């Protein structure tokens, strides 16, 4: 069994008002505040980030930004700097989510800049990679995720490893109910671990690799039991406390 501490993060995407967010984290706080063997995080919309962080102040539950800009300040209307996320109470930020790449034109180069800036601001980063369905069908999965990882890590060094989480989220499995099978996910995770080794040497063994894409209570245990799957990045199933708690429990089970 690996010594990597599992990490389960709920990516709420564009859901929940401030009061809905507070209701959800209050439930999570009651259910999960004592969990220490799994790192747990929630990623609210920006407007709810600070109130959520205040509510979770005395717990180990981490607050996660869904995106950030690579510049710290300036004439960048609508953007949020990494240090401002930290100021609002975030300790992590998700970078390069496929929805950002797909709908907002985010590029591999942009992801690299954001990762560097976020780490420099003292945040830890969850860098997302994943292939589309047509890339998988064309046998291009490894080429695609390999190049995404190479690009994202272009400005990182082995010293950055403690702040780095890599999330494999096959685009065809996001929000579709079609999960990668545990074997499919493990195959890509194992490939990614090897790719990280090429870049970071033996330090790669310490990088946590999350799987994301239709993770739910029913499939979490089998996915998280895979040797190179160290956690989950959960969308839809993280919007209800009970479902999310079950996924955290599955990650705990993997440690038992």
> Could you say which residues in the range 208-237 bind ligand 13P, by CB under 6 A?
212-215, 233-237
- Count CB-CB contacts under 10 A for residue 78: 5
Known active-site residue 97: yes
Instruction: Rule CB under 6 A: choose which of 11, 67, 148, 226 binds ligand 13P.
Output: 11
Q: How far is the CB of 53 from ligand 13P (least distance, A)?
A: 20
Known active-site residue 169: yes
Q: Which is nearer to ligand 13P, 11 or 186 (CB)?
A: 11
Catalytic residue among 97, 131, 135, 189: 97
Check: CB of residue 173 under 8 Å from CB of residue 180. yes
Check: CB of residue 126 under 8 Å from CB of residue 100. no
For Cα atoms 209, 43, 179, give the angle at the middle one, nearest 5 degrees.
Answer: 50
Catalytic residue among 69, 99, 169, 189: 169
Q: How far is the CB of 190 from ligand 13P (least distance, A)?
A: 21
Q: Which is nearer to ligand 13P, 121 or 173 (CB)?
A: 173
> Could you say which residues in the range 73-102 bind ligand 13P, by CB under 6 A?
97
Q: Which is nearer to ligand 13P, 123 or 200 (CB)?
A: 123
Instruction: Rule CB under 6 A: choose which of 52, 174, 188, 220 binds ligand 13P.
Output: 174
> Could you say which residues in the range 37-76 bind ligand 13P, by CB under 6 A?
none
For 238-244, the CB contacts below 8 A with 24+ separation are 238/9, 238/10, 238/11, 238/12, 238/42, 239/10, 239/12, 239/15, 239/16, 239/24, 241/24, 241/27, 241/28, 241/31, 243/216, 243/217, 244/8, 244/10, 244/28
Q: Which is nearer to ligand 13P, 148 or 214 (CB)?
A: 214
What is the three-class DSSP state of 185?
helix
Check: CB of residue 132 under 8 Å from CB of residue 99. no
- Residues forming contacts to ligand 13P in the complex (CB under 6 A) are 11, 97, 169, 174-175, 212-215, 233-237
Write out the catalytic residue numbers.
Answer: 97, 169
């Amino acid at each position: 069994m690996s010594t990597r501490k599992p990490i389960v993060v709920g990516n709420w995407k564009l859901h929940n008002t401030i009061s809905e967010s507070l209701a959800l984290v209050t439930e999570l706080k009651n259910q999960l505040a004592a969990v220490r063997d799994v790192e747990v995080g929630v990623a609210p919309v920006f407007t709810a980030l600070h109130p959520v962080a205040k509510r979770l102040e005395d717990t180990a539950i981490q607050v996660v930004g869904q995106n950030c800009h690579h510049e710290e300040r300036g004439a960048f209307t609508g953007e949020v700097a990494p240090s401002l996320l930290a100021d609002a109470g975030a300790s992590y930020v998700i970078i390069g989510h496929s929805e950002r790449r797909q709908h907002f034109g985010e590029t591999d180069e942009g992801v690299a800049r954001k990762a560097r800036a976020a780490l420099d601001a003292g945040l830890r980063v969850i860098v997302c990679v994943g292939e589309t369905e047509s890339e998988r069908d064309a046998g291009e999965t490894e080429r695609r995720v390999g190049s995404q990882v190479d690009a994202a890590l272009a400005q990182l060094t082995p010293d950055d490893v403690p702040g780095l989480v890599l999330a494999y989220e096959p685009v065809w499995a996001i929000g579709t109910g079609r999960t990668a099978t545990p074997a499919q996910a493990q195959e890509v995770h194992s490939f990614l671990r090897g790719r990280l080794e090429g870049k970071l040497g033996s330090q790669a063994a310490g990088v946590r690799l999350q799987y994301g894409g239709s993770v739910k209570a029913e499939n979490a245990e089998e996915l998280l039991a895979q040797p190179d799957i160290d956690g989950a990045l959960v969308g839809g199933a993280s919007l209800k406390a009970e479902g999310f708690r079950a996924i955290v429990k599955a990650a705990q089970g993997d440690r038992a």
